[in-house]
Structure formats: C-alpha cells, structure tokens
Structure 1
C-alpha cells in the first residue's frame, strides 16, 4: 500500500512532476509557453500547491 500524501512538499512534488511531463509534449507546450518564458512556472506551481493543501488539509496558505 502506498502512503498518503501529507505535507505540502508532497503536493508540490506531484504538481512539478505533472508539469514536467506536460512540458515534454509538444502539443501541450503552447499552453504554458508564456509562463515558462517569463520564468513564472515555479511560483504558479506553488500557488496551486497552496490551493490543494488548503482543500486537502484545511489550511490557509492559498492567496
């Protein structure tokens, strides 16, 4: 049995892995080109991680 995710680091890791996979598909890259070009992907992933952390663990990180 695989362990449940718990800290925000687990959520961040999963999101980062997912986005890295998306960026390897040439048909999907155009949707993220502006974010990647402006070097905002890392901060966007953190915002999404905060959102999911709030939903899953009833925290107040998302702004």
Structure 2
C-alpha cells in the first residue's frame, strides 16, 4: 500500500487527482502518517470538470 504525504507539515497542503473522465466517488478516507503526529482534522472536497472552475462538494446543503 502507499499514500501521499506533503513535504512540509502545515495547513496549506492540497492534492489534485485527475481521474481522466467523470466518475462517481463513493468514499474518501484519510489516516495519519506512520511514525509522525501528523493527521488530517478537516478537509475541503472540491470537484471540477475542467480543472479551472472548482465547486465545493455539498450534500443536503451540508459542506463536507
């Protein structure tokens, strides 16, 4: 298994994934980094068809 971890530990990190086509994402999971006290406490999930115009994901008017 593998994962992504930023070089610098701060709150300004982001990860962009190009899935190549429109697909349904049914789950997002995070975990801490082995041997470190770094872990995600909150995140913003955004989506785009173009990679330029981004919208924040909402479910029943709740921001996730």
The structure carrying a bigger helix percent of its residues is: 1
The structure carrying a bigger strand percent of its residues is: 2
TM-score by length of 2: 0.26
TM-score by length of 1: 0.27
Higher relative contact order (CA 8 A, sep 6+): 1
